[in-house]
């Protein structure tokens, strides 16, 4: 069997899909995107297709290594996201050839279902108490929210108090044991991160996310010493080598590699195993589409240290189209009691609505993240 064609598609709200065709009639789908840089990633996929045409899609490890190592320059968000989408599509083909979900080809499942959480509150969080209660009433046991709006390196305490009030509202409406994940989103710098993390202790959060950016990963130990809350990070890391530095630096309790940014199933399975050796949990990042989510669930199925899965149904970014719009087998993605079943269809587990993908690609999106500024006019982290 040989690869005959590589197709790329822009689909709303902000995603990119890859379709790999073979001469045996098998087709695989992947999700290759770096939010805000979809054009660059899909162009990179097209550039990499020179290595793919004529190759045997069964040789996933060799293709992955060729794309990563043979180009001399390696790593980074764009190239690794391109590899991620290609890798997902190759595993989708392999699963379809053998008539089994991908996780069955990689050792089989170690769990029957996966706990998930929902986003509430939007970029500028508000009304989180009512929104969290709504999700609890729908059967979810955990949510995630952005902690704060813009925050300068050293800022005023009224902004921190506003965070505490929002978290308190969730704890009051949803009870003591409801899971609250608080995403600092890299908007908080070390001087304020230590203060905010310490103040949040009284609410027993499930975790705090990206209290500082991973480019300052040496600070995680200091923040961990300042509070007794699990720290999660990793969505802006792109390879096992990035995560090696993170795990060695210490201070992190949960890693969050993105299956569409960090090398796909092939690489994240290795990253998950590395984290297990450090007694660090796995919670894959996934504010993306159905193919990325299904790829995450396949790795979750395999990974003993997987604890909870992000998903983007209802997330504030999804304008115009949402996750299940592109899925024909919607019943496989039903959420029951805050959990989702593992993929059941051969391959990654998504029967893609190809007609809608083709229609969306006629008018490619150009999603960009907001550009925020502080009151003094300087750029703020979004």
Instruction: Report, as residue numbers or ranges, the catalytic residues.
Output: 185, 285
Strand partners, 143: 118, 180
- The burial class, CB within 10 Å (0-12 / 13-18 / 19+), for 10 is buried
Q: Which residues have CB under 8 Å from 360's CB, separation 6+? A: 9, 10, 11, 12, 321
Quote the Cα angle for 210-215-221, to 5°: 60
- Angle between helix 77-98 and 290-302 (nearest 10): 70
Q: Which residue's structure tokens are 């991160």?
A: 193
Kindly report the number of other CB atoms within 10 A of residue 359's CB atom. 12
Answer whether 93's CB lies under 8 Å from 60's CB: no
Kindly report the number of other CB atoms within 10 A of residue 69's CB atom. 9
> d(Cα 254, Cα 36) in Å, to the nearest integer?
25
Q: Which residues have CB under 8 Å from 78's CB, separation 6+? A: 34, 37, 40, 41, 44
> d(Cα 68, Cα 283) in Å, to the nearest integer?
24
Reported as half-sphere exposure (CB side, CA atoms, 13 A), residue 369 has a value of 12
> d(Cα 163, Cα 200) in Å, to the nearest integer?
9
DSSP-assigned letter for residue 175:
-
Q: Which residue's structure tokens are 């992955």?
A: 64
> d(Cα 225, Cα 198) in Å, to the nearest integer?
10
């Amino acid at each position: 069997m040989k690869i005959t064609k590589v197709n790329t598609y822009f689909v709303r709200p902000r995603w990119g899909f890859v379709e790999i065709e073979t001469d045996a009639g098998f087709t695989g789908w992947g999700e290759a995107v770096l939010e805000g840089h979809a054009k660059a990633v899909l162009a990179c996929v097209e550039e990499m297709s020179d290595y793919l045409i004529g190759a045997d899609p069964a040789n996933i490890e060799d293709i992955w290594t060729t794309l990563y190592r043979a180009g001399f320059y390696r790593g980074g968000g764009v190239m690794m996201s391109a590899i991620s989408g290609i890798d997902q599509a190759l595993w989708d083909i392999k699963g379809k050839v053998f008539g089994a979900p991908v996780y069955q080809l990689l050792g089989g499942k170690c769990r029957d279902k996966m706990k998930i959480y929902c986003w509430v509150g939007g970029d500028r969080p508000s009304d989180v108490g009512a929104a969290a209660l709504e999700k609890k009433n729908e059967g979810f046991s955990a949510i995630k929210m952005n902690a704060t709006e813009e925050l300068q390196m050293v800022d005023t305490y009224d902004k921190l108090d506003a965070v505490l009030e929002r978290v308190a509202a969730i704890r009051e409406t949803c009870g003591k044991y409801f899971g609250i994940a608080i995403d600092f989103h890299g908007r908080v710098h070390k001087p304020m991160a230590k203060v905010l993390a310490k103040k949040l202790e009284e609410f027993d959060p499930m975790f705090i996310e990206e209290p500082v950016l991973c480019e300052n990963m040496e600070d995680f130990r200091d923040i961990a010493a300042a509070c007794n809350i699990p720290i999660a990070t990793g969505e802006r890391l792109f390879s096992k080598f990035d995560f090696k530095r993170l795990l060695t630096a210490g201070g992190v309790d949960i890693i969050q590699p993105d299956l569409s940014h960090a090398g796909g199933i092939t690489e994240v399975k290795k990253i998950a195993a590395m984290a297990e050796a450090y007694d660090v949990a796995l919670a894959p990042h996934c504010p993306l589409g159905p193919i990325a989510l299904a790829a995450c669930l396949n790795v979750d199925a395999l990974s003993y240290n997987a604890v909870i899965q992000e998903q983007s149904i209802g997330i504030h970014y999804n304008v115009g189209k949402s996750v299940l719009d592109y899925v024909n087998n919607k019943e496989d993605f039903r959420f029951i009691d805050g959990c989702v079943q593992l993929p059941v269809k051969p391959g990654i587990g998504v029967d893609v609505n190809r007609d809608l993908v083709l229609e969306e690609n006629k008018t490619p999106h150009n999603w960009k993240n907001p550009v925020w500024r502080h009151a003094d006019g300087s750029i703020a982290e979004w």
